Chains A and B, each alone.
Chain A
């Protein structure tokens, strides 16, 4: 397989634009300044995926169309609690070390909105339709079982988003299936 480097550059630009939209939308939802620090594409074997995400939660979604794939939004535990607190200002919620039903709903929805920001950019650019599943919340420790279901090799789009004032960070990982991704690259 040969990949034209100029197409990868273009894909990286699209990913960066998507990440900026994510930061802008997160800022609107939380009511605080948010910035995108890193956005990059890696070609990895899925077993090389970072293992340090033990204490945290992930919003997990799948997308189907051109391309299809999996998407994870990872929040460290304390960051997720802060996000929930900011989102639920003025809305009643039981809060403790775990997550209440409404906090889970809020975090799922933020994952949904953030990932849509990313995927919609692709769909519009490629003039195609990409369906996104409803979001699921999983413990970060469950990521490994999801990775096992994926292709052995993957293009990973990762974005690190920071809200410094509140010490919140989240990481967004997009795993498109390779065959679809090759078709996307040909279309670019």
Chain B
């Protein structure tokens, strides 16, 4: 089964996303900031990372850029309440493969991850 790493500084959003993903994918771990995300990416080698943008210590855009530097084939889906075009452009420049906007709607989340995996 496809392995997913969930990155979000909100415990509630991590639990909510885990609830949506389990049954479709294997959630191999969670990280609550960008630094932890890069560490867990290297340690757990997930197929997909779901990445929040606004986080303390290191934001999701910087973490995505670092993950892509470590493994250019890594798949990163931005999960964020930020709908600003400028921020999304930055995320794409950092290497994001797709995005999901909060609030989460389960079918859209599953579809976005499957779409990224198909590429």
Contact = CB atoms under 8 A, between A and B. Distances in A.
What is the predominant secondary structure among interface residues of chain B facing chain A? loop
Contacts of B55: 134
Given A90-B19, A132-B54, A109 B12 contact: yes
What is the predominant secondary structure among interface residues of chain A facing chain B? helix
A113 B105 CA distance: 14
Contact of B19 (A25, A91, A105, A130): A91
5 contacts: A88-B12, A91-B12, A123-B85, A133-B54, A134-B54
Interface in B40-99: 54-56, 81-87
B84 A124 contact: yes
Interface residues on A, range: 20 to 34
Contact of B9 (A113, A128, A134): A134
Contact of B12 (A87, A124, A132, A134): A87
Contacts of B10: 105, 108-109, 112
B81 A112 contact: yes
Interface residues on B, range: 20 to 34
Nearest to A128: B86
B104 to A, nearest CB: 8
A106 B11 CA distance: 8
A124 B9 CA distance: 25
Nearest to B13: A109
Contact of B87 (A28, A88, A105, A129): A129
A137 to B, nearest CB: 12
A123 B15 CA distance: 30
Interface of A: 25, 28-29, 87-88, 90-91, 101-102, 105-106, 108-109, 112-113, 116-117, 120, 123-124, 127-134
A102 B15 contact: yes
- Please give me the 6 A-B residue pairs with the lowest Cβ-Cβ distance, nearest first: A105-B12, A116-B81, A106-B12, A120-B83, A129-B86, A105-B11
A156 B10 CA distance: 28
B16 interface: yes
Given A87-B12, A88-B12, A113-B102, 9 more contacts: A91-B12, A109-B13, A124-B83, A124-B84, A124-B85, A127-B86, A129-B84, A131-B54, A134-B56
B15 A91 contact: yes
